[in-house]
Structure 1
């Protein structure tokens, strides 16, 4: 007898990566990656796009903290099999985008089995079909779980700063990704630059290393200038584009969003 129960139907294979999935990466912590992911999501939503922001920092999730959100559900419930990914999404009304929060402060997802993480990544790609853009805030570094989740994205924005350690670690992330996924689109974001010109010089340093050793030339997605109002907006748990929409950093992220949409 044929089983007609739809819940028992074979799982439709998901594409390895989504064309509208964008991962925000960094070689090391402390370069403003999560803040940038939030602000870029907000900028895209302001342009009338349906945006989902996924907290993929499995060890140190904090998107909900930065936004002042208290989501009823988070990724931990999904991994435990209590909820679907769709059910874990929370709308951040102030920014006009949806969020799937991690499990803040527990680190309980850091050791998620690779097979379970792959199911989450596949579901994220499938869920992303209902959105214009899906942004994944990856954990810092080049650990296996970070790279596995990054495979859900067709484009990766690597955030760095002018600190030598940040540049070295950004290069390491680019190198490993280029080796494992030569078809992936890699772009560089220089954050907290003293000026646009200095940010471009920082990018040039990274570009030369990529060209010299990897024979690739990841383009510059944009430079975000250092802005004291970024720290203030984070401290007050209010998005920069809401609290200080005309600040230098806000204008830089807005311009970066426009360039991404124009491509």
Structure 2
């Protein structure tokens, strides 16, 4: 599928958002796909890219069977735009969003040379100009490929939860990213929060660590409630806004999308 002609004008063309986490298991990919649905509902032409070059799984979560993926692109078999696949759903009233899948379990992609990752980042940036919004779902951690892709984005979200390991690993990601680019200012999303109080406590602890050791105050972009609708949508291999459009977690995601679209931190 070729990239679309951009027809909407809800924001600057090619605005790219990278979704990162210090560790796996914090719901980063589910958040990325739900955000793609939320931006689509706002009328934005949206592209979701599986940038986990080691253990891609967006295709599995969304029940896709792509004809081409990033592995084929990096092997020179197809062009990046030929790996675009449409995700449809009755609840995604703006017509769904586009996806570029990785290749599930293809750990070899994690060993890409710096030059190859740079070419991929440049290609994604160029393709994003056909869209209002591109969302890049990164691998967990802070390896060189993940950091290079993060640095190609306009904004970076670091996803945390209230587990101590999530906070320490997220801090390590931010520290490493800011060593490479001292102007980097990742936003924070607290995911799978058992309560608003727990979410604010986790953010407060993370903010305090960053302020104490990095001299940097990360802004809170949003909090996403713990909601069993999310694992249900994953098991059903459906986008959250299609499976559970009115669930609490997706309402939180829509609020997050609104803040991001307006360039504001969470209220």
Shared fold (TM-score greater than 0.5)? yes
Tell me how many residue pairs correspond in the alignment.
246
Let me know the Cα RMSD of the aligned residues.
1.2
Partners of 1:22 and 1:261 in 2: how far apart?
A: 11
Map of 1:142-221 to 2, 5 A cutoff? 142-221=142-221
CA contact (8 A) 2:158 2:188 kept: yes
* CA apart distance, 1:205: 0.5
Q: What is the aligned partner in structure 2 of residue 136 from structure 1?
A: 136
* CA apart distance, 1:245: 1.4
Q: Highest Rg: 1 or 2? A: 1
* CA apart distance, 1:238: 1.4
* CA apart distance, 1:41: 0.7
* CA apart distance, 1:183: 2.3
Deviations 1:211-249 (A, max 9, x none): 111111110010001011111111011122111112111
Query: Post-superposition, which runs of at least 4 consecutive aligned residues in structure 1 deviate over 4 A?
Result: none
Partners of 1:246 and 1:92 in 2: how far apart?
A: 19
Deviations 1:123-153 (A, max 9, x none): 1111111111111100000111111111110
Map of 1:1-263 to 2, 5 A cutoff? 20-94=15-89, 95=92, 96-263=96-263
- Structure 1 gaps of 5+ residues are 1-17
* CA apart distance, 1:108: 2.8
Query: How high is the TM-score relative to the length of structure 1?
Result: 0.91
Deviations 1:28-68 (A, max 9, x none): 00000000000001100111001111101011100000000
CA contact (8 A) 1:19 1:153 kept: no
* CA apart distance, 1:19: 6.4
CA contact (8 A) 1:193 1:226 kept: yes
